[in-house]
Amino acid sequence: MTGTAAFTGLVLLIGLQRISELILSRRNLRWCQKHGGVEYGSGHYPFMVVLHGGLLAGALLEVHLGHREIYPWLAWPMLTLVIASQGLRWWSIRSLGPRWSTRVIVVPGLPLVGDGPYRWCRHPNYVAVVVEGFALPLVGSAWITASVFTALNIPLLAVRIRAEERALGLMSKY
């Protein structure tokens, strides 16, 4: 198997993971709504969907159309970071349980989660997103995709975290 084929397989695997996350998110959204959950800060959500889809598509296009050479000295450390970011993402999702969603939802009366990675970091899933956003494309030497995603993700995360912080502030009132 060539490095390009392996990279394509990795990106497709991450794409399947994203689909499973969207299915889980939809199920959890129904749970949150059933328990009185309210969504906050949804204006940025369509851009987030496009950006995250663009990360996967951009990495594949850049590697295939740009005929990127995959360098083991770069690919292996970046793959390690991708795997670590997936572990952190799923640890975060598991720690939030049915409250996890790709949207910002407040369920009145529930305390803030302080287990798992939330013991050390207020937004561990976003740490995973940042790491994955530069590391995944760099596994395939797709430095343009890594740079563009990171540059666009910074302001998006600023908006997202502000929305989430406002929602978490609301949670503390209940």
Q: What is the pLDDT of residue 174?
A: 43
* pLDDT on residue 170: 54
CA dihedral 140, 145, 151, 152 (to 10 degrees): -130
Strand 105-106, strand 38-39: pairing: antiparallel
Predicted TM-score (pTM) of this structure: 0.93
Domains of the chain (ranges; CATH) run: 8-171 (1.20.120.1630)
- Please report the pLDDT score of residue 132 as a whole number: 98
pLDDT of residue 143: 98
Q: Angle, to 10 degrees, between the axis of helix 3-34 and the axis of helix 124-139?
A: 160
Backbone angles phi, psi at 141, to 5 degrees: 60, 25
What are the pLDDT tens digits along the chain (174 aa)?
789 999 999 999 999 999 999 999 999 999 999 999 999 999 999 999 999 999 999 999 999 999 999 999 999 999 999 999 999 999 999 999 999 999 999 999 999 999 999 999 999 999 999 999 999 999 999 999 999 999 999 999 999 999 999 888 855 544
pLDDT value of position 46: 96
Which residues, in sequence order, are CB contacts of 142 under 8 Å at separation 6+? 58, 59, 62, 63, 66, 68
